[in-house]
Structure 1
């Protein structure tokens, strides 16, 4: 029996390809039984808009079979693509009149490429019996504004040791033009033109020779190739990111902790002991950097035991010198743990080094610690008590020295507007007691409607205007306040509304007499649930230094230039 040679190819390609798909299965079969190897990201291609690009079918380059043998076996190579952002698979038309996209053997040429060419390109090798396909991503990028490259482009990378010679070639331009053609190549460093020759580096055609590598030579080196072939002008842009690393070293790693002076690590029984292995690795090209802990000669691995926990961190310098830190935590340290040997090891290509950690029990000063904690607790409790008892005095002291006078910033005319029930008793209290203290002792400018309003005006408009010009509104609560007419309710609603919506005024609730049913007025109920009510206590509040007047003073604006008199003057006869 004669086997088709492609049966061998198709059956063995699974071991050769490394696509994003894992292996062909019933889920990967198309309706026509075509093996789909998914997306081959390793061959993904990026091209600059308007430049020449070529896309090679991985079925040949990776499986190592040539195009001619495939055709001779009766197989055909078909190309399809899925536009970026779409799901529809379309055949590629290579017969367009502009010949911009061409097929040459197993290569698709874009001469030049366009942004709309971005998408997923599928090459399919098939005959009537066998079918195999793979997809390759293509991205056509535009260069950044005022730049010779795009920040989205994946650049080649190269490391050159400090003070050594480096040879940098324009990458990935082979096969784009015949060897007999001499293209024009311009070199740029970080998109700035390079001189053809300087003391330490020289541009020679498609390469740059750096005779002595310096730190400031690191950066992005871009070569732009221009040439004409078959009456078409082509451009290729390639970039290599050069990183400067340390000078070639022949040194072993250096262990900083535990150090050579046999630094003693103090531990406490029952606590967690922490041992640090801190190793510095000088740069060594293509050298491993490995560090580890051993206990009694046995290398510790993560999760060796529940009592040993390992954590590591890695740092790299500008010149690629490296530092590795491995922290060993010994949980619930015991006296038995003191008998073990803890050694930090490190190695590179130049050799292996080690340093032992020495442990010692920490002496704890129980009595001194207890006394310190007791004194600290006593101070904290004392401060809490002082603040609880004298918090009003502390607030007033702070306001007197550091508070900001609101009159300097808000442009309002009055410090406080007093809203009260219009009856003889409460009017006497407001005019003879409350107003007298606020104006004469505290220096506030008080607004009382019945005293300061002009005759002939509209009550509603003047009331709202006075409240708008005031920084605080004192609402004197009493049973009579709830029984009064619309003006008191208007004052209350206006104050609460301004405080809630704009914050331009604050409402201060003063209970002149006990009010049993505050829920009768919705606004008053909301205010009582959200604000502190300051209670007038009659004779007990006759002293300016009593709690009532301190609470009033704290609730009202800061007046740094005028302060209450520290007298014991009686306010009530």
Structure 2
């Protein structure tokens, strides 16, 4: 407060601070309000200055209102409207009444800088959204590309099949496995599947045949349908059988049908969800038939990486191990690298009888030909090889 010549104090009501700083944009209008409480007998008015000079060229307005509580006091308001058209309109503006004053300092704000900052923020946000959408749409393709380029091909591991497929011999499951799953993986991507429609765990312990077949496969695929769960061993104790399956394969693949999912027992769904970190669950949907669907991409990611072979070359596993294929050699006993078999138990019925060497017969006007024993050709398994073998030579034809 300051005592004037009128003998009554003057009170500054607005602005709240004696010094005010503002950052208005160029091209806008700013109204500076200076309000004081003065004696009713004082007839002075509020004056404005810009940079300590009289602001006569700027528009000013005065208003007077009497204080309702005290008729001897009035409220004096001075408003200065500033149209910021040029940079010269910025500066320090001061309102005065007697020896009471208040100052407003107008600083120039770069409008373009704000626009650039907002535009940059919007661009970053847009790029983030586009990146998230592209990742959700193309993540499987990117993962497949990276796996096919840098992933482990899992060759030279002694396995004959890429996946062991267990399914129930029902109408739907058989059609799906034999006419959709197997042709697509084998013909399109070159995988080798071993199909087994027998009960996977019919007893308390897995059989030796099951262990041998699973050990020959790099992955375990279970077509977990309603018919599969209807088998006797699943109905009796699915939980124990499920954990035995996890012991047979590190990351088994379970294929479920979307139209049957809601009818599956709640115990089965809860058990599958509790082990999501140790298994792969794939849902066969109505749109999964397309080769570009997410089902086939996720299934390929769960299967081993396949490498392309040069023309004329066979199974890379054979090439790496220099396997002479004991099924087609004359002396199979000498070339068998693992005579005890996959299970470490020697069983004579796994070996074919030694071939008989027939005496050489003479045919007039022809070169001598050895009789070839073909008694064991029916027991040989040629489906496990991707290359071709010539069983007879050209002169013998």
User: Shared topology, TM-score over 0.5?
Assistant: no
Question: Which is greater in Rg?
Answer: 2
Comparing both structures, which one devotes a greater share of its residues to strand?
1
TM range (shorter): 0.3 to 0.5
State TM-score, norm by structure 2: 0.42
State TM-score, norm by structure 1: 0.30
Q: Which has the higher contact order (CA 8 A, sep 6+)?
A: 2
